[in-house]
């Protein structure tokens, strides 16, 4: 009877993961359209690369507070309903972006956009966790990340061409249309992620502090932010770098299309490999690759070679992006997910803030190439920390540490 139940549960989980993969792909396609032109869009108001970095870092602080505040929400309500409402509000916000022409309107919408991003990320991650078997975290995340990255391959090409030909406003309209499709499919899928019945933590600060009482959760927190730190370079400063060199918005689309290709091709394979060879090895190699490449870029002056090397760096990111969150889930118990997933996700905001704020500060005083030096040393720091984490394997017999 237990074997039959396990098989039924596995089929159910796999079916829901497939549905979530489709929804995640369409929602990611919408995000990729906006993400491709977001830095250029901010620059159209601020007209200064460093100021774009500072504003983006400020928005990151807002996101940090949002992650912190959403802990009771994730514990108390059905995460599937939260995710659905977040998608609806996103679609409305994108339409407002499309019709807005005022600076203060942009600022207000940017803050709303940031909070909704936090809400969507937190709820979706827990939904995936709730619909996954214990020994399939990395596989499921690898599958979902693969299709999300496929969206980030397709989206930049569409966004770059549309923005170059018809303007940025139409990109927001297209993003809203894709979200409407995601909303319909998610609603029809009837996926649920009900709250686990447990005592809620009224003291948010106490709950956040409790997260860091385990050294394994601390390591998971640190390692989980490495990918985000790198993406702050790729998706914020490199598009502005491309524009400043005179290549235009179309080349931004080409670059972001190409940089996502290794992620789409290799993430599922590496996430599966991590379960067999151990997460520690994936972290070491994964962070070493972008670290070496970023330092090499510091000594180069040819824009095309630099962009090409940054694309190759994505191979390393494909090793650690799906592995990072799976590693976190292996450090918490079943009933701790809702309590600690919010605090864990703040590593995204912390590292995003560090990447943007320090890069913007560097650009106030030094040439752009010094940004590459900063990110290179930062990646080597994550390589060093990889030696200190516990090694995790996944297999049919359960977790092995």
Domains annotated for the chain, with CATH where assigned, are 2-386 (1.20.1250.20)
Confidence of residue 173 (pLDDT cuts 50, 70, 90): very high
The residue with greater pLDDT, 185 or 10, is 185
253 pLDDT above the threshold of 90: no
Average pLDDT, the chain: 81
What integer pLDDT is reported at residue 379 of this predicted model? 94
Residue 67: which of 349, 330, 292 has the closest Cα? 349
What integer pLDDT is reported at residue 334 of this predicted model? 62
What integer pLDDT is reported at residue 3 of this predicted model? 28
5 pLDDT above the threshold of 50: no
What integer pLDDT is reported at residue 203 of this predicted model? 57
What integer pLDDT is reported at residue 359 of this predicted model? 92
Per-residue pLDDT reduced to its tens digit, 305-346: 999 999 999 999 988 887 787 778 777 766 666 677 767 877
80 pLDDT above the threshold of 70: yes
349 pLDDT above the threshold of 70: yes
- Percent share of the chain, pLDDT over 90: 26
What integer pLDDT is reported at residue 271 of this predicted model? 75
Give DSSP secondary structure letters for 321-358. HHHHHHHHHTTS-GGGHHHHHHHHHHHHHHHHHHHHHH
Collapse the DSSP code of 52 into the 3-class scheme (helix H, G, I; strand E, B; otherwise coil) and give the result: helix
What integer pLDDT is reported at residue 9 of this predicted model? 33
Please give the backbone phi and psi of residue 249, each rounded to the nearest 5 degrees, phi first.
-65, -30
Give DSSP secondary structure letters for 272-289. HHHHHH-HHHHHHHHHHH
The token pair that represents 357 in the structure block: 């704020």
Residue 349: which of 153, 151, 121 has the closest Cα? 121
What integer pLDDT is reported at residue 388 of this predicted model? 80
Please give the backbone phi and psi of residue 324, each rounded to the nearest 5 degrees, phi first.
-60, -50
**Helical spans, DSSP H, in 47-102:** 49-69, 71-76, 79-99
What integer pLDDT is reported at residue 292 of this predicted model? 96
The Cα 87–Cα 178 span in angstroms is 10
Per-residue pLDDT reduced to its tens digit, 358-378: 999 999 999 999 999 999 999
Please list, in sequence order, all residues whose beta carbon lies within 8 angstroms of the beta carbon of residue 21, skipping any fewer than 6 positions away.
143, 144, 147
The residue with greater pLDDT, 263 or 178, is 178
Confidence of residue 12 (pLDDT cuts 50, 70, 90): very low
277 pLDDT above the threshold of 70: yes
21 pLDDT above the threshold of 60: yes
7 pLDDT above the threshold of 70: no
Per-residue pLDDT reduced to its tens digit, 196-234: 544 445 556 677 787 787 787 888 888 888 888 999 999
């Amino acid at each position: 009877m237990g074997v039959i139940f396990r098989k039924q549960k596995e089929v159910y989980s796999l079916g829901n993961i497939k549905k979530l993969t489709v929804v995640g792909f369409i929602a990611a396609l919408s995000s990729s359209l906006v993400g491709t032109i977001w830095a250029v869009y901010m620059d159209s108001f601020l007209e200064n690369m460093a100021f774009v970095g500072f504003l983006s870092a400020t928005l990151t602080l807002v996101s940090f507070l949002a992650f912190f505040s959403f802990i009771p929400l994730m514990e108390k309500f059905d995460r599937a309903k939260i995710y659905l409402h977040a998608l609806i509000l996103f679609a409305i916000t994108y339409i407002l972006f499309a019709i807005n022409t005022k600076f203060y309107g942009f600022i207000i919408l940017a803050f709303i956009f940031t909070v909704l991003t936090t809400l969507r990320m937190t709820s979706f991650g827990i939904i995936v966790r709730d619909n996954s078997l214990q020994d399939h975290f990395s596989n499921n995340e690898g599958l979902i990340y693969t299709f999300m990255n496929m969206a980030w391959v397709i989206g930049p090409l569409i966004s770059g061409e549309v923005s170059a030909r018809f303007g940025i406003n139409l990109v927001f309209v297209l993003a809203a249309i894709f979200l409407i499709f995601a909303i319909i499919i998610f609603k029809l899928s009837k996926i649920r992620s009900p709250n686990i019945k447990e005592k809620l933590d009224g003291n948010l600060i106490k709950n956040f502090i409790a997260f860091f009482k385990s050294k394994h959760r601390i390591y998971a927190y640190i390692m989980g932010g490495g990918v985000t730190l790198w993406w702050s370079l790729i998706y914020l400063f490199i598009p502005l770098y491309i524009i400043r060199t005179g290549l235009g918005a179309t080349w931004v689309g080409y670059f972001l299309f190409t940089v996502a290709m290794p992620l789409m091709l290799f993430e599922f394979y590496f996430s599966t490999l991590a379960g067999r060879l151990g997460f520690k090895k994936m972290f070491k190699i994964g962070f070493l690759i972008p670290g070496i490449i970023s330092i090499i870029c510091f000594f180069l002056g040819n824009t095309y070679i630099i962009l090409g090397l940054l694309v190759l760096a994505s191979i390393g990111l494909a090793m650690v992006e799906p592995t990072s969150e799976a590693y976190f889930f292996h450090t918490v118990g079943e009933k701790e997910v809702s309590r600690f997933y919010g605090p864990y996700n703040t590593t995204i905001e912390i590292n995003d803030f560090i990447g943007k704020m320090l890069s913007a500060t560097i650009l106030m005083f030094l040439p752009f190439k010094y940004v590459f030096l900063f990110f290179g040393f930062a990646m080597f720091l994550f390589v060093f920390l990889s030696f200190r984490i516990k090694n995790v394997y996944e297999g049919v017999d359960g977790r092995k540490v």
